[in-house]
């Protein structure tokens, strides 16, 4: 019986898995192989929380495979060496995996393909990164024309999900190492394909599906208004194509025009995901260098104390501090919170966006190089965004819009639990009598604002203008 290796990377699922399907087309027996890569584990932005989530997801995948007669094979070591060893052990004739967009992943795969029978298939994105290009065959660098082209192509695609195999046969003699154990709990994000599929169904199914309120709710950090699928998409516990198809089903069943607009807005987030992966595929330097050449020379502030205050949620701006504390405790924050804290670090504190990018990668469950870098360059106005650099979030105004009653702030910044609504996003404006009554003295129980936003905004604008002039 022919044998193929299904090399699992970011596709911890059995449903709609093109790599698994391609391996089964080539062989009657497969080796579902996950390689614990020491290079990735030793990265400066490696995350112990993300690694624990991955390992729990691998255990769930192993259970799903065993339910179909198979099992997961785990090996530690450099991928090329491990693959060569497994090929010798099994007599496998091919290796199948989903294509990657990261610079490291592409170099790794090129090395493997030089002497091993590696076949890469699409599946990391809805549309392959090479597909969505200009008429001249160049990648888009601005989102809006990318979205128009993406939507035009998707409209003509025959998007049919691949059914999971009923039975999987794995050679009996192939040994597996233990999946690393962890006692870390993930109550908000149970790490499994089953949990991902339940969350997708809950978000998109029924006449009261949350996706129909997405436009109204997505920017409210005090409410559960988003799909919260990002950790599952990060590890491929659900495919982006199945998410799109579920959203399309919701679009067809939408009861109102506003519900349809909300679905379209949510689909736009899938487009952003494809867009950022396409950018990283074609411009790998964006991981450490601004895409916009004219803004590469901004003189950032070297202020370790200010950076630490931001990281630890001690800035004196409640919405910023609440988000940073939630991130530290849970490994996840809503997208609106990400934009707020990123704008504050880069524009109010004038600290290099790469410090924020690295901090997020060390903490985020859904830490993805493409999306994380794209988001940080967007916040710093140095990436693909067509909007001008003078977009600077006011943290007080953002707080009042995203958390009108202060529930989110009070949950994550308990020092402000008794502060009245009218002061909760600007507690330094409390009169002394109110500070006494709420037992929250500014400067003692909760820090005073570390910057004046109006002054900081003017400083940032001057710094950006000067950088642009130097490059012209």
Nearest 5°: CA angle at 338, between 337 and 344? 90
CA distance 86 to 103: 25
C-beta separation of 403 from 222 below 8 A: yes
Q: How far is CA 211 from CA 11, 206, 264, 296, 349, in A?
A: 24, 10, 10, 38, 35
CA distance 1 to 37: 29
Q: By C-alpha distance, which of 13, 15, 17, 27 is closest to 5?
A: 27
Task: Give start and end residues of each alpha helix (H) in 331-452.
Answer: 335-343, 353-363, 369-380, 395-402, 407-412, 432-438
C-beta separation of 86 from 174 below 8 A: yes
Q: Which residue has the tokens 């087309």?
A: 25
CA distance 311 to 325: 8
As given in the structure block, the two tokens for residue 272 are 């952003």
As given in the structure block, the two tokens for residue 27 are 């062989």
Nearest 5°: CA angle at 177, between 171 and 182? 135
The SS3 of residue 465 is: helix
Residues with a known catalytic role: 269, 272, 300, 335, 353, 376
């Amino acid at each position: 019986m022919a044998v193929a290796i299904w090399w699992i990377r970011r596709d911890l699922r059995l449903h709609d898995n093109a790599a698994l399907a391609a391996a089964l087309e080539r062989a009657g027996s497969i080796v579902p192989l996950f390689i614990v890569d020491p290079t990735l584990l030793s990265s400066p932005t490696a995350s112990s929380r993300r690694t624990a989530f991955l390992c729990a997801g691998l255990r769930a995948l192993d259970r799903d495979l065993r339910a179909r007669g198979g099992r997961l094979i785990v090996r530690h070591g450099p991928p090329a060496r491990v693959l060569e060893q497994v090929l010798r052990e099994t007599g496998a004739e091919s290796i199948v995996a989903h294509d990657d967009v990261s610079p490291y992943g592409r170099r790794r795969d090129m090395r493997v393909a030089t002497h091993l029978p590696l076949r890469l298939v699409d599946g990391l994105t809805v549309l392959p990164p090479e597909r969505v290009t200009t008429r001249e065959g160049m990648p888009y660098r601005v989102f809006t024309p990318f979205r128009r082209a993406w939507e035009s192509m998707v409209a003509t695609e025959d998007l049919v999900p691949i059914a999971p195999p009923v039975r999987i046969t794995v050679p009996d003699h192939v040994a597996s190492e233990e999946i690393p154990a962890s006692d870390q709990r993930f109550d908000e994000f149970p790490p499994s394909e089953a949990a991902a599929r339940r969350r997708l169904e809950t978000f998109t199914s029924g006449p009261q599906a949350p996706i129909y309120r997405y436009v109204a709710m997505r920017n409210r950090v005090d409410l559960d208004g988003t799909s919260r699928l990002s950790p599952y998409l990060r590890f491929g516990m659900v495919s982006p194509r199945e998410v799109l198809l579920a959203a399309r089903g919701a679009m067809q069943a939408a009861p109102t025009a506003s519900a349809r607009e909300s679905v379209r807005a949510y689909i736009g987030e899938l487009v952003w995901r494809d867009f950022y992966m396409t950018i990283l595929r074609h411009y790998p330097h964006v991981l450490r260098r601004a895409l916009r050449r004219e803004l590469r020379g901004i003189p950032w502030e070297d202020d370790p104390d200010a950076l630490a205050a931001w990281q630890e949620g001690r800035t004196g701006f409640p919405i910023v501090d609440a988000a940073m504390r939630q991130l530290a405790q849970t490994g996840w924050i809503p997208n609106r919170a990400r934009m707020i804290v990123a704008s504050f670090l880069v524009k109010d504190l004038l600290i290099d966006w790469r410090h924020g990018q690295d901090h997020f990668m060390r903490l985020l469950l859904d830490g993805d190089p493409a999306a994380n870098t794209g988001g940080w360059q967007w916040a710093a106005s140095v990436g693909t965004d067509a909007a001008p650099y003078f977009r600077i979030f006011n943290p007080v105004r953002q707080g009042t819009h995203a958390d009108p009653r202060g529930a989110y702030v009070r949950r994550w910044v308990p020092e402000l639990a008794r502060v009245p609504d009218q002061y909760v996003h600007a507690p330094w404006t409390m009169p002394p009598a109110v500070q006494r009554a709420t037992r929250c003295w500014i400067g003692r129980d909760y820090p005073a604002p570390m910057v004046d936003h109006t002054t900081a905004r003017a400083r940032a604008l001057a710094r950006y203008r000067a950088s642009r002039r130097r490059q012209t």
